[in-house]
Structure 1
């Protein structure tokens, strides 16, 4: 088990923020965990530690937002994400630690800049099988590699302007399906070592706490302030990872 205090200094707030995001804000900041933990361990190990925790969070989220998802969207997104997971699994051994740091950092920075700079959308777009299939595939791939499926999924879902609970329910079901589909290839690739599983077990107690905190905040706290703080932190950690990957 990891015993470095610096790891837990990064991992504990990361897990709580991801749980809060999943429980009340659609899980869009699920990509925050790997960049934060990658400051002290490799992105590959961070992703392996997070997967069991994410699976536990998904169970709590599914119960909290049961019956709230848009299944007409999910019937396109989930099969497409399975293709992305397969592509991610087949290419896993060809991605170096530096390349994964670059991917994580680039996704974090670009997602943050898109959030800050994109113009306000006035009219909702209509769902599209082609767009849903494409972004579902990208979601599956980025989620498999570094649990960073939130940005590509949001690129497709946010312009649809779903009702708040429907949006959160859809993302929770989507990522629950993706995370449980990832368990088999992660196991085959040897990601679930005793060190990773024991560390995940220690952090797992924070999973239901974070999700239930998010569910409570969903009805009481302005999500704009939560996102503003988290996006600043996400931009800083993403920039640090990009810098390390480029210099390395």
Structure 2
């Protein structure tokens, strides 16, 4: 049975995921899982938030249907399958503390990655499409998505360098790729026993918070400076990652 304050924290995480998706690009959807992993088993945190993230993306898939970069999406999804398999295998051979460390590393690295992109340290100059690089990026997407719902960085590194990918095509590709990846994850989570009737019930209860967050995000986008939102959220995420590293290593 989950403690009441854990559910409150999960509701806040779902709200944050919705706000991020509704007004700030959706890149922080995984933060809720990282925060929850501080207070519950990582597998429980991941299982709680996956249906919530899937619900947030469901409407976006329909809105952006057919507008994605097909070669890039195929390459990433091809690589994502073995990446998901590697992530699933970890749950059978490592402890919860190792998963906490992995989530913590991603939580700390993510703000650094976004800062490097903002400062131009990670180049996104258009390149000739390379399917093999897409496969490698896809493996990173699958693995990071499985262990932390955080496949965004390897996706961004690959897709931002593709010719002819404007903002709409980039977002459409992201929505479609992670819709498929999350559906595959849901099957694997069910097979390896991460889902329980209790977690699924709580996930359904959290979905309204995510949907409210989406509307709040649309509103907040108009009045809250993007830099302020990300500065506060990335700071909190980095601190969460450090806490997970502390708990996992000590």
Please report how far the alpha carbon of residue 112 of structure 1 lies from its aligned counterpart in structure 2 after TM superposition. 1.3
Q: Distance in 2 between matches of 1:123 and 1:116?
A: 14
Please report how far the alpha carbon of residue 212 of structure 1 lies from its aligned counterpart in structure 2 after TM superposition. 4.1
Deviation per CA, 1:42-82: give whole Å up to 9, x if none. 11100011111122112022234444422231011112112
Question: For residue 172 of structure 2, what is the aligned residue in structure 1?
Answer: 169
- Tell me the TM-score normalised to structure 2 length: 0.87
Question: For residue 80 of structure 1, what is the aligned residue in structure 2?
Answer: 79
Question: For residue 193 of structure 2, what is the aligned residue in structure 1?
Answer: 190
Query: Pick from 123, 127, 130: which aligns with 1:128?
Result: 130
Question: For residue 102 of structure 1, what is the aligned residue in structure 2?
Answer: 101
Indicate conservation of the 8 Å contact 2:124/2:160, yes or no. no
Q: Distance in 1 between matches of 2:35 and 2:233?
A: 12
**Number of equivalenced pairs:** 246
- Tell me the TM-score normalised to structure 1 length: 0.88
Residues 1:73 and 1:26: Cα distance change in structure 2 (over 3 Å): farther
Residues 1:19 and 1:3: Cα distance change in structure 2 (over 3 Å): same
Please report how far the alpha carbon of residue 95 of structure 1 lies from its aligned counterpart in structure 2 after TM superposition. 2.2
Indicate conservation of the 8 Å contact 2:102/2:147, yes or no. no
Q: Which runs of 5+ in 2 are unaligned?
A: none
- Asked if 1:57 is matched to 2:56, the reply is yes
Please report how far the alpha carbon of residue 137 of structure 1 lies from its aligned counterpart in structure 2 after TM superposition. 0.8
Residues 1:122 and 1:111: Cα distance change in structure 2 (over 3 Å): closer
Question: Greater shift after overlay, 27-36 or 110-119?
Answer: 110-119
Please report how far the alpha carbon of residue 200 of structure 1 lies from its aligned counterpart in structure 2 after TM superposition. 0.9
Question: For residue 11 of structure 1, what is the aligned residue in structure 2?
Answer: 10
